[in-house]
Chains A and B, each alone.
Chain A
């Protein structure tokens, strides 16, 4: 087991003290304080954008989604009941808006269509630098549906629990687990298909 970099218990990026601060931020936003909206964006902007980009795959669409999220927070900040982390609430808004945008744009692509797309157009230098395994893993991630990418992003990057992930995706806990299981099989299958023996 010593070959694995053993993960330690992650500290939440938003502590209890900052939770109260951000709760207060939402109250100030609902009272019409524009500066509070800027503070909230400073605290969460990068995470919200990362999640929106993970779902939409288009920087311009992701920006529109985050902008709409800020507008929704401005109008509905007072409705936040404080029954979960502010981050999970914000991500659930991003999630809904991103999926709505994708539906509207009719670019919800099937796995097959996405899988047929060429690899991301990184420069040849970057591509050669990156190991084969990482490249195929990246392609495997891109060929997942937005819903499957969402659960991986929420758990691994945003640090959400499975229950919070279910809350953000507005689906039962069982669905989150089955999506994770599917994602595991899909990624493993992608790597196996590329003859990477270590994944067999």
Chain B
């Protein structure tokens, strides 16, 4: 056996894990090797130090009880789902109740007009306006009958806002999808996807903008601004004689109309605005006086 083998065995020698023969062999080597004697001393001191530190320890008394308590605690994921469901259910009763039938009525009338006029573009015009007004009335002291109740809960304002946003946006989407399906009476099924994609981008962007502005400025200002931005694309400036013959302004108007027809730009922008709105809901500097939190 060479020196390297003994180096390895020394550790096991100190740990008391060698057979009688191995021990005798290593003891014979130790008589001749000063390096191994130094190592032996080091390992013995190390072993004693580890043993000394551990002897002072005792098993913490309540760990089994804590573990059993944790074992019987409801599954975290299930508990999170339950909490989310409870929050959504509570917030469904706290948002402006008139909003639900009003939105449905607007879309119902819109569908009627579109079918009679045989113009599916009515849906494109109406869906973002309906969604923006519902989102603008989602939050803030003037729209929140459950303000005191919400203030009394430990839930952060942004979570409350997200819950309401999910509920109302989900409802709006369902309404608009149902309205789009009704358009099958006047448009071929192959165009249904294009129709949905047409209103989806503007609806998402205008809703997110309305939500953010309602937190920053209030509901009425939010509605005024979002409606103005949306209607601006329909105003015939030229016909009204307000438009000077300028190719630059002409191009700007075209680009503006194109913006509302670019879902790939509008959808990410909407996410950005929603993120900003949720953040703003948590910042007291941005909240209106008397708003949540």
Contacts and interface: CB of A to CB of B under 8 A. Distances in A.
B45 A67 contact: no
Nearest to B52: A134
Nearest to A42: B59
Question: Is the contact region of chain A dominated by helix, strand, or loop, or is it mixed?
Answer: helix
Interface stretch (A16-24, A86-94, A95-103, A156-164): A156-164
A159 B14 CA distance: 11
A117 interface: no
B16 A63 contact: no
A50 B54 contact: yes
A133 B20 CA distance: 31
A190 to B, nearest CB: 10
B285 interface: no
A191 B38 CA distance: 12
Given A53-B57, A134-B49, A156-B47, A199 B27 contact: no
B77 interface: no
B39 interface: yes
Contacts of B19: 9
Interface string B18-49: 11100100010011000000111111111101
B64 A9 contact: no
Interface residues of A, number: 50
Contact of B63 (A1, A70, A198): A70
Contact of A46 (B41, B47, B59, B66): B59
A187 interface: yes
A5 B44 contact: yes
Question: Is the contact region of chain B dominated by helix, strand, or loop, or is it mixed?
Answer: helix
Contact of B41 (A34, A48, A67, A198): A198
A152 B42 CA distance: 12
Nearest to A140: B46
A199 B16 CA distance: 23
A90 to B, nearest CB: 13
| Interface residue tally on B, bucketed by range | 35 or more
A71 B11 CA distance: 34
A7 B16 contact: yes
Interface string A160-200: 01100000000000000100110010011001000000110
Interface string B63-95: 110111011000000000000000000000000
A67 B66 contact: yes
Contacts of A162: 12
B51 interface: yes
A4 B49 contact: no
Contact of A4 (B18, B40, B46, B57): B40
B76 to A, nearest CB: 12
A71 B47 CA distance: 31
B30 A66 contact: no
22 contacts: A1-B30, A1-B31, A4-B30, A4-B41, A7-B13, A7-B15, A9-B17, A10-B16, A37-B64, A46-B57, A54-B54, A63-B60, A67-B66, A75-B71, A137-B49, A156-B15, A156-B46, A156-B50, A177-B8, A181-B7, A184-B43, A198-B38
Interface of A: 1, 4-10, 34, 37-38, 41-42, 45-46, 48-50, 53-54, 63, 66-68, 70-71, 74-75, 133-134, 137-138, 141, 152-153, 155-157, 159, 161-162, 177, 180-181, 184, 187-188, 191, 198-199
Given A67-B67, A161-B12, 20 more contacts: A4-B40, A7-B13, A7-B16, A9-B16, A10-B16, A34-B68, A37-B68, A38-B64, A45-B64, A46-B57, A49-B59, A66-B60, A67-B63, A67-B66, A67-B70, A68-B67, A155-B17, A161-B17, A191-B42, A199-B42
Interface of B: 7-8, 11-20, 23, 27, 30-31, 38-47, 49-51, 53-54, 57-60, 63-64, 66-68, 70-71
